Amino acid sequence: MSTLLIAGGHVIDPKNGVDGVADVFVRDGKIAAVGRNLKEKADKKIDAKGLTVTPGLIDLHVHFREPGREDKETFETASKAALAGGITAAVAMPNTNPIADNQTVVEFILKRSRDLDLINIYPTGAITKGQEGAMLSEINELKNSGAVAITDDGHDVQKEGVLKRAMEYARTCGVLLMSHCETKDLTEDGVMHEGWISTQLGLPGSPALSEDMAVYKNILLAEKTGARLHLMHNSTAGSMRAIREAKKRGAKNITAEVSVQHFALTDKECMGYNTLAKMYPPLRSQEHIDAIIAGIKDGTVDAFTTDHAPHIEPEKLKAFQDAAFGTVGLETSFAVMNTYLVKPKHISLKQGIEKMTSSPARIIGINKGHLSKGADADIAIFDTEKEWVVDEKKFLSKGKNSAFIGKKLRGKAVYTIVGGVVKYDNGTIIA
């Protein structure tokens, strides 16, 4: 029997309404008790006075790159980066090589997660074969193999008939469909947000309307079919409006995420042809940032994610039009949320933690993201006041392509605990 006592921290457990100083006692990998001045003796004690104790963070949107692009990232390197960010569970996107459109790849991901024993990795399966938007994957097979959702992330299913059938099958199989919303005919060759900055830079823009129309399409189809729909990396005022309207109509089968960069940074980051700011969906103008924050405050947004997209350096050193899309985020997501939402008092820390723990867990249907008695002891401990400057040289991720390099953030993981075992301790991975 192994025991751990986390003493005197400010415990925030949104699912159970906990927000105050308390101890957390762990026995054999499970939460045994949460309360003031616990008297239990433990094998290991962490003095958490002055620190914030939360359920381990859950990231719904991570590109691990394995199998196929291990030069960019691996399950091991991404998992270690996640631990450094207080993340104990992550959902793997299917755009690997080979694509996760079959049982074999899904089972491989699950085995790699078990063998590494670092964080909990939950695979998704592709909606369509090869993510080509034409032939549906064996959706029930993917679910039975362990996929928590299906998605063609990186590609929108452009054919409405195919998407409708996918939603019908997803509902029948009882699996979540996660949708990347983009209208290709409108995006064309756009490489950043279409607006004044793209005009100044002479770069082809991707209009917000491309996302808006696709979000409306997905919502209408989900309302018609009854499928559980999760809208990924929303970035526009139009998306917020569409999702808000759907929820007001009573659409309980629809949830939505925002990647943290999309409430923190504007398209001004692209000035100077800064390819680190090139991502999809693109960083938008301030009016869209304001709308996203409003959607966060009124509950339109259910979860925060990273859309962690690591690349090798040469892919970002190209001319802006040719550079790869994407930014890494596993090691910075909590700090970005804390810096850009909590410290300016847009939301409370408890509200932010809820969108990174219990709400993501609810969306994918896993019993995680809380500190209930008997729950898996997946725990993060943060210093919410620690100021630090993002330095890619210190990243544990292989990907160094962060849009936040050089920016000062507040809040950092001190300990990350998975299944009652301390996996990250003040900058050191304990494997």
Give SS3 for 359: helix
Residue 163 structure tokens: 């998407």
Q: Residues 78, 99, 253, 372: what is their CA dihedral angle, to the nearest 10 degrees? A: -30
Say if strands 254-259 and 57-62 run parallel, antiparallel, or are unpaired. unpaired
Say if strands 176-179 and 229-231 run parallel, antiparallel, or are unpaired. parallel
Pairs from 164-167 (Cβ < 8 Å, separation ≥ 24): 164/221, 164/224, 164/225, 165/136, 166/127, 166/128, 166/136, 166/139, 167/221, 167/222, 167/225, 167/227, 167/229
The region that residue 359 occupies, defined by phi over 0 for left and psi between -120 and 50 for alpha, beta otherwise, is alpha
Catalytic residue among 23, 59, 212, 307: 307
Question: How many other C-beta atoms lie within 10 A of the C-beta of residue 252?
Answer: 9
Residue 44 structure tokens: 């290991």
Whether residue 152 lies in the annotated active site: no
Active site residues: 307
